[in-house]
């Protein structure tokens, strides 16, 4: 028998994921947030993440952080924010299982910046995720676009502070989310209700 290469990933059973955007979805978008202490969660997020876990979803955050390449903050700042985000979630009994972020500016036209799908593909490999039974919640068109490309159920939670821009982004009508919800919590409840 061939010995298994020592670097082969452990076989995980297939799972479904609740993918989520970060800024404007889990927390108010403070625009190039650098200081973890300023992070706040939207009301209901803590309970919703725990509810997704109880329903057997892994919770994976995929976020564009072009502020890194723009020199506005560092990877360490972003990782502190993610650590803080999980500290804020923990009293609800569940955390984000993994964070994947794109550090590039849009001009680079990388494959990892949403609506690019590279980070989702990485997560799929790392967690053995079944996209067909997974969902993505986000506040912008680029979130819906990424989810749509991958065959995920797409849920839009429009940021009330940029309602006009969001409406304009979808005005062409060529791309629509599977569902629109007023809050992350209600988006998650509706995703879970679909079974
Ligand atoms: Mg966002
Ligand atoms: Zn990138």
Measured in Å, residue 154 CA sits from the centre of ligand 1 at 14
Judge whether residue 2 has pLDDT over 70: no
User: Is residue 10, in this structure, part of any structural domain at all?
Assistant: no
List the one residue out of 194, 175, 193, 192 whose CA is nearest residue 59.
192
Q: Which ligand is nearest to the CA of 69?
A: 2
Q: Which ligand is nearest to the CA of 161?
A: 1
User: Is residue 3, in this structure, part of any structural domain at all?
Assistant: no
User: Is residue 7, in this structure, part of any structural domain at all?
Assistant: no
Q: Which residue do the tokens 């062409």 mark?
A: 172
Q: What is the CATH number of the domain that holds 160?
A: 3.40.50.1000
Judge whether residue 15 has pLDDT over 90: yes
Q: Residues 115, 142: contact at Cβ < 8 Å?
A: yes
Nearby residues of 150 by Cβ (< 8 Å), 6 or more positions away:
117, 120, 131, 136
Measured in Å, residue 110 CA sits from the centre of ligand 2 at 5
Q: Which residue do the tokens 């803590």 mark?
A: 46
Buried b (16+ CB within 10 A) or exposed e, 31-57: eebeebeebebbebbbbbbbbbbeeeb
Q: Give catalytic status of residue 23 as yes or no.
A: yes
* pLDDT tens-digit readout, 110-157: 999 999 999 999 999 999 999 999 999 999 999 999 999 999 999 999
The whole domain housing 41 covers 16-193
* pLDDT tens-digit readout, 154-192: 999 999 888 889 999 999 889 999 999 999 999 999 999
Measured in Å, residue 140 CA sits from the centre of ligand 1 at 6
What is the number of domains present in the chain? 1
User: Is residue 34, in this structure, part of any structural domain at all?
Assistant: yes
User: Is residue 9, in this structure, part of any structural domain at all?
Assistant: no
Q: How far is residue 31's CA from residue 126's CA, in Å, rounded to a whole number?
A: 29
User: Is residue 6, in this structure, part of any structural domain at all?
Assistant: no
């Amino acid at each position: 028998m061939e010995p298994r290469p020592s670097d082969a990933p452990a076989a995980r059973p297939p799972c479904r994921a609740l993918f989520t955007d970060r800024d404007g979805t889990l927390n108010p978008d403070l625009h190039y947030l650098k200081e973890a202490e300023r992070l706040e969660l939207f009301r209901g997020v803590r309970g919703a993440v725990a509810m997704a876990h109880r329903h057997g979803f892994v919770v994976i955050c995929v976020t564009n952080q072009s502020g890194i390449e723009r020199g506005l903050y560092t990877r360490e700042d972003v990782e502190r924010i993610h650590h803080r985000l999980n500290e804020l979630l923990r009293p609800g009994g569940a955390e984000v299982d993994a964070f994947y972020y794109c550090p590039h500016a849009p001009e680079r036209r990388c494959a990892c910046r949403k609506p690019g799908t590279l980070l989702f593909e990485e997560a799929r490999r790392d967690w053995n995720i079944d996209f067909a039974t997974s969902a993505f919640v986000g506040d912008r068109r680029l979130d819906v676009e990424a989810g749509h490309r991958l065959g995920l159920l797409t849920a839009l939670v429009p940021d009330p502070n940029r309602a006009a821009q969001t409406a304009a982004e979808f005005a062409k009508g060529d791309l629509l989310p599977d569902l629109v919800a007023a809050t992350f919590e209600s988006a998650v409840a509706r995703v879970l209700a679909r079974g």
